[in-house]
Amino acid sequence: MRRTIQRFLASAGVALAALIAAGPRVLLAQGADSAPPKAAAQKPDSTGGSPALATTSVPRYLANHPRQLHLTAKQSDRIREVATWLDTTNAPLRAQFQQVTGGRPLRTMRPADRRRLSPQLQPIIQGIRANNQAALDSVDAILNPAQQQQLQTLVSEYRQRMQQRQAHPAQP
């Protein structure tokens, strides 16, 4: 279970970097309780017109969809606290990432520019990964074994869909 979560965390970090690179696109998590967790997403900043990076992590997804794993009220409250901690801890790191890249998507940069920025971005990405790992460990401690298995299934289904989406990108 822990190895799967660590693998998910690594892919979530990559997904977060990809979403940061995606620029001002708005990606919202699905609202239905039956939807699997999203690794990361962006939404507009409520304080101004410019979009700010915000994530929808596994803890945030579970906090917003407690029926997905049949969470008790106490579990839901504890997971909501973990999600809030993760959001506030990662916010300065996401802002640093945006500052280093100048708000430009990585995929639009020349390879030489990406290589030049890589040493500055690596510590930021590692910090986000460490925070995500700590949050997943906390969530794992809150869930009972059946819920942990259910979460693992949801995450693996999500990863399979993302791999299929990468293998067969939608035609514009």
Amino acid 162: pLDDT? 86
Amino acid in position 127: G
pLDDT of 103-130, one tens digit each? 888 888 899 999 999 999 999 999 999 9
Name the band, by pLDDT with cuts 50, 70 and 90, for residue 12. low
Residue predicted with more confidence, 3 or 97: 97
Decide if 63 is inside a domain: yes
Q: What contacts 29, CB < 8 A, 6 or more positions away?
A: 35, 38, 41, 56, 60, 61, 64
Name the band, by pLDDT with cuts 50, 70 and 90, for residue 159. confident
pLDDT of 78-105, one tens digit each? 999 999 999 999 999 999 999 999 988 8
59 pLDDT higher than 60: yes
Q: How far apart, in whole angstroms, are the C-alpha atoms of residue 67 and residue 9?
A: 23
Amino acid 3: pLDDT? 63
Decide if 75 is inside a domain: yes
Decide if 152 is inside a domain: yes
Per DSSP, the three-state class of 143 is: coil
Is 124 within 8 Å of 101 (Cβ atoms)?
no
Closest CA to 152 of 166, 139, 162, 163: 139
Amino acid 31: pLDDT? 32
Decide if 172 is inside a domain: no
Residue predicted with more confidence, 40 or 172: 172
Closest CA to 5 of 166, 170, 159: 159
Question: How many domains does the chain contain in total?
Answer: 1
Q: What's the mean pLDDT in 41-68?
A: 58
Q: What contacts 66, CB < 8 A, 6 or more positions away?
A: 75, 76, 79
> What domain range includes position 131?
2-165
Amino acid 18: pLDDT? 46
Ordered DSSP codes for 24-91? T--B----STTSPPPS--BEE-TTSSSEE-----HHHHHHH-GGGTT--HHHHHHHHHHHHHHHHHHH
Name the band, by pLDDT with cuts 50, 70 and 90, for residue 19. very low
Amino acid 22: pLDDT? 42
Decide if 66 is inside a domain: yes
